[in-house]
Chains A and B, each alone.
Chain A
Amino acid sequence: MSRVAQFLFRRKGGKGWHWTDIVTWVWLVGGLFIMFGPAVWLVGSSFKSPAALAEFPPTILPYVTQKVTVEGFDKPLDLYEVTLPDGSKGKLAEVRRIGVVGQMINPSNPGKVIKVNISQRTPVRAMSFASGNYTEPFTHFDFVRYLWNSVFVTVVATLITLVVNSMAAFALSKYEFRGRTIAMLLILATLMVPLSVIMVPLYSIVSALGLFNNLWGVILPTVATPTGVFILRQYMLTIPDELVDAARMDKASEWQIYWRIILPLTAPALAVLAIFSVVWRWNDFLWPLIVLSRKELYTLQVGLSIYSGELNVQWHFILAMTVVTMIPVVLVFIFLQRFITTGIAGTGLK
């Protein structure tokens, strides 16, 4: 442990501590709790039973009050650790509570009712992961449907984005034609027209095309991303034009030049765009919320927000569904964070 501390706190050049070092470590350790803490708490909570979730103060780990089934009672009874008036201790099940007195029985000898003051009893608790939080939404809600809708939207939109954007980027980087500058400016100008500015007319257009309450209505408006065209074009500009000339001399058609020469060489930039696109589409919320009004078409994000906005929020399910929704993004984060962070630093785009 001290070795680890030594490693973490060692100072290059062996200089002494400065006040900025203290600020640095306070900031980083504080950041550790603030950045990861909330998500960890959410994951921890998602394993708690509804009763445990309603408790205050909450426990860090998921505990449940133990129950026993006793002959002659339909429902399982709560089990308590009881100190009897004679000073002896034992585990008793509570039948009912009247005021400050609980009527308790011994599960192994259910015939005799013992009256115990409630201050003399503490619930017997054991750690238990409420896996039902995860399994039940799959049967009770259309959770599988939402999951499928989200996956469908994400995968299809990303594929179309890659194809359509790379084609446009190819045209804008390797051809000289009239209107090229105008096309480029138009695409860049899109950055100024976010969804919130055009949602009313966009909704009418999507409806007119019959795409209201249709996953394609969610997909199509998102695929002509200016960012994607921009990233890919910048990358393609660094591919020498002589390669295109060489391919033309080699009797390659323009289409072949696109998919056999340019696309393979653009693979790194395509990968960056693919990752961004997956995260964008998986996280999209406002537009799906507008276009999808039928329950069976909801994406995960819409489904989650609708259920969490209901009067009688079933937090145990919401939390578990949130965790599931987080999983792909967390996987992307764990495996590709270095790729993404250098990608953003390199392109300056999100």
Chain B
Amino acid sequence: MGHIKLTNVAKSFGSVDVLHDINLEIADSEFVVFVGPSGCGKSTLLRMIAGLERPTSGELAIDGKVVNTVPAADRGLAMVFQSYALYPHMSVRQNLAFGLENTKMPKAEIAERIGEAARMLEIEPYLQRRPGQLSGGQRQRVAIGRAIVRRPVAFLLDEPLSNLDAELRGSTRAELAALHARLSATMIYVTHDQVEAMTLADRIVVLRAGRIEQIGTPLELYNSPANRFVAGFIGSPHMNFLEGTVESVQSSKAVVALTGGHRLEVPANGASIAKGARVTLGVRPQHISIGGDTHGIPAKIKLVEALGSETVLHTDVAGQKVLVVAPGQYDLMPGADIRLSLSTAPLHVFNEKGLRLGHTV
């Protein structure tokens, strides 16, 4: 139940290729998040699984059965839309019942399922109301309820939280995670928000320009991003990138000269690094420490954001922007010169093509 497999799936609208050669296997009761910037094809991929779009080529199978030509209605899936897409002219109860009535289900069973879902989602008081009389959060619950009553093989959720305000988004996110644990159904979730992806997913699929960049658990993506794009996309604030040239390579480490002249030792496990190659060093803002150490990288402070528990420094390192998130409070002023230490930081080295060196996972 709820096993979905995509093999060499591609999609184009006219002459525009939206998705290229997608290979993906989603296990039963897994929570998979498609994440990527807008226009990366993640929604199209979801709609294709739903049956609302047809793949141009490749094969799409649900529970071992190829469903390329099976209409959306017969795939046994349910979808929660970004706008919720509740039928405005029907009451909440009718909204929930509509899909069940279409399967000619007995009335008693429909009532029972609606009751169950309404209890679970705490929407019982609104069953007679129209969607227009509900708040955004309530509508969102009804949209989820409409999917739940169908008891689908898999839930497809298309940016379901993007229309909620920040506070509600946080709490609903937690509820969704609980719901998944309770229903133990396959869920495919599309978002452009990496925080949602990190907090909800069993596995994340990062997409860019119609291609899968990396598939992995949230921490895999965080700790060992496959390439510069994934490294930049996952984690908040974004990873810092510093340009440099490899000066020398030893057995386990290499020396990289940053633009501006500062030299850094980086771990180099493997022979994929060559002397003279241009590389990019990636370091997360949280991993940089501020030190008076004269070995540190000289930087000039541009802006100080004191958040209380931590301090965010916008600095300039030889013309490159570097963000530092340091715990605690600092008495620093814009314009001051400081030194940044990377000695304890996990460093990621990306080659000219943006691939991470020594990426093994």
Contacts and interface: CB of A to CB of B under 8 A. Distances in A.
B84 to A, nearest CB: 8
A281 B73 CA distance: 42
A207 interface: no
Given A245-B52, A264-B89, A265-B89, A250 B83 contact: no
Contact of B78 (A249, A260, A261): A249
A168 interface: no
Given A242-B81, A242-B83, A249 B72 contact: yes
A204 interface: no
Contact of B82 (A242, A247, A248): A242
Nearest to A244: B85
Interface residues of A, number: 17
A261 B87 contact: yes
Nearest to A250: B99
Interface in A246-267: 246-253, 256, 260-261, 264-265
B72 A248 contact: yes
Contacts of A250: 73, 98-99, 102, 146, 150
Nearest to A267: B89
B77 interface: yes
A256 B88 contact: no
Task: Determine the main DSSP class of B at the interface with A.
Answer: loop
Contact of B102 (A251, A264, A265): A251
Nearest to B72: A248
A243 B79 CA distance: 11
Given A264-B89, A265-B88, A265-B89, A249 B82 contact: no
Contact of B79 (A240, A249, A256): A249
Nearest to B47: A245
B200 interface: no
Nearest to B152: A249
A271 to B, nearest CB: 14
B102 A245 contact: no
Contacts of A247: 87, 98
Given A251-B73, A251-B103, A252-B73, A245 B85 contact: yes
Contact of B73 (A242, A249, A260, A264): A249
B99 A243 contact: no
Contacts of A242: 81-83, 85
B229 to A, nearest CB: 29
A181 to B, nearest CB: 14
B52 A256 contact: no
A242 B86 CA distance: 9
A246 B89 contact: no
CB-CB nearest 7 A-B residue pairs: A250-B99, A246-B85, A242-B85, A251-B73, A251-B102, A264-B89, A242-B81
Interface of B: 47, 50-52, 71-74, 77-79, 81-83, 85-89, 98-99, 102-103, 146, 150
19 contacts: A240-B83, A242-B82, A242-B83, A243-B85, A243-B87, A245-B72, A245-B79, A245-B85, A247-B87, A248-B52, A249-B50, A249-B73, A249-B78, A250-B98, A251-B73, A251-B74, A253-B102, A256-B102, A265-B88
